[in-house]
Amino acid sequence: MAERHRYPKGPTTYVLRALVVAYLALLVAWPVALVVTNTFEHGDEALRTILEDPDMQAALRLTAVAAVVATAINTVFGVSVSLLLVRNQFPGKRALSALLDLPLSVSPIVVGLALVLVYGGRNGWFGPSLEESGFQVIFSTPGIIMATAFVSLPLVIREVVPVLQELGTEQEQAAQSLGASGWQTFWRITLPSIKWAVIYGVVLTLARSLGEFGAVKVVSGNILGETRTATLAVEEKYLNFDQEGAYAIAFLLASVSVLAILVVFVLRSREARR
């Protein structure tokens, strides 16, 4: 991109640049770097202790399972809803597209409360009858998955909808006029064209899901070895003065989220160059 600068680079440019760099360093870069130095203060001992602790293994496994299942649900849901919103007309469409953003501005604690009020085993709306049929939601894995799916619900949709709108329907119509079925059109034409948007959405959803804390805290009951997730373990270790352990788990979680951003960043700049 060739840029013409009408104004010469004056002192303002450098002042603003310095301001931005300093602000981001103090607010984000430096604090995040400290998690690395604090974790490896005594070599990799802290990290090894965490990885060998069976309770922590269970916590990490639970976090991974909840995040993967929630991401899978949100991906299928997100792609379907995006297609419906962009390609179809139906009553209530505007309201729906506004409501889909709701999970991003609801407090995680309210998310937890909402799920407990409906699925709580003792006096929730559906909870008691679900438990009678042997399906426990709250204080159990399904509740953790629902809380996780709730908070990361719109992320795939936000990535896919703009791409679908740009795409138009010409290719799909061409495929259909050549006799392709709805499924064939979707798999062969639509999905390949929205592939990257779906991948960004999935990566962001996964990162957000791995890190959910407040909503999971309310619905999980935080039972050691059973419903304690990795983020809950960070809190518990820190409050019990096991700072090294807290930093080690935090380091694992932070690495995954930074990696996720890095993946999206690299893919995006590659696409922009094309």
Partner 1 sequence: MSVQIEEVRPAPTRRTPTHDLTRTSGIGLGVTMTWFSLLVLIPLAAVVTTAAAGGWGGFWRAVSNDQTAAAIRLTVTAAFGVTAVNVVIGTVIAWVLVRDRFPGKGMLELVIDIPFALPTIVAGLVLASLYGNDSPLGLNLVNSGWSVYLAFLFVTLPFVVRTVQPVLEELDQEIEEAAASLGASRFTTFRRIILPALTPAIAAGAALSFARAMGEYGSLVLLSGNLPFTSEVTSVRILSAIENDNRATAAAIATLLLLISLLVIVVLDVIQRRVASRG
Taking CB under 8 A as the criterion, which residues in 139-198 touch partner 1? 146, 149-150, 153-154, 157-158, 161, 165, 182
Stretch that binds partner 1, among 42-50, 52-60, 115-123, 189-197 (CB under 8 A): 115-123
Number of amino acids touching partner 1 (CB under 8 A) = 103
Stretch that binds partner 1, among 49-57, 74-82, 187-195, 220-228 (CB under 8 A): 74-82
Under rule CB under 8 A, residue 81 binds partner 1: yes
Of 110, 174, 191, 224, which lies in the binding site for partner 1, with binding defined by CB under 8 A?
110
214 neighbors 107 (Cβ within 8 angstroms): yes
Q: Name the minimum Å distance from CB 160 to partner 1.
A: 9
Nearer CB in complex with partner 1: 58/112: 112
Q: Name the minimum Å distance from CB 196 to partner 1.
A: 17
Nearer CB in complex with partner 1: 178/239: 239
CA distance 257 to 63: 13
SS3 labels along the chain: CCCCCCCCCCHHHHHHHHHHHHHHHHHHHHHHHHHHHHHCCCCCHHHHHHHHCHHHHHHHHHHHHHHHHHHHHHHHHHHHHHHHHHHCCCCCHHHHHHHCCHHHHCCHHHHHHHHHHHHCCCCCCCHHHHHHCCCCCCCCHHHHHHHHHHHCCHHHHHHHHHHHHHHCCHHHHHHHHCCCCHHHHHHHHHHHHHHHHHHHHHHHHHHHHHCCCHHHHHHHCCCCCCCCCHHHHHHHHHHCCCHHHHHHHHHHHHHHHHHHHHHHHHHHHHHHHC
Stretch that binds partner 1, among 22-30, 53-61, 128-136, 191-199 (CB under 8 A): 22-30
Nearer CB in complex with partner 1: 51/114: 114
Of 47, 58, 60, 100, which lies in the binding site for partner 1, with binding defined by CB under 8 A?
100
Please give the residues from 214 up to 273 whose contact with partner 1 meets the rule CB under 8 A.
214, 217-218, 231, 234-235, 238-239, 246-247, 250, 253-254, 257-258, 260-262, 264-265, 269
Q: Name the minimum Å distance from CB 152 to partner 1.
A: 11
* Tokens representing residue 84 in the block: 């419906």
Nearer CB in complex with partner 1: 27/224: 27
Q: Name the minimum Å distance from CB 178 to partner 1.
A: 18
CA distance 235 to 245: 10
Nearer CB in complex with partner 1: 84/224: 84
Q: Name the minimum Å distance from CB 239 to partner 1.
A: 8
Q: Name the minimum Å distance from CB 141 to partner 1.
A: 15
CA distance 70 to 79: 14
A 10 A CB-CB count for 9 gives 9
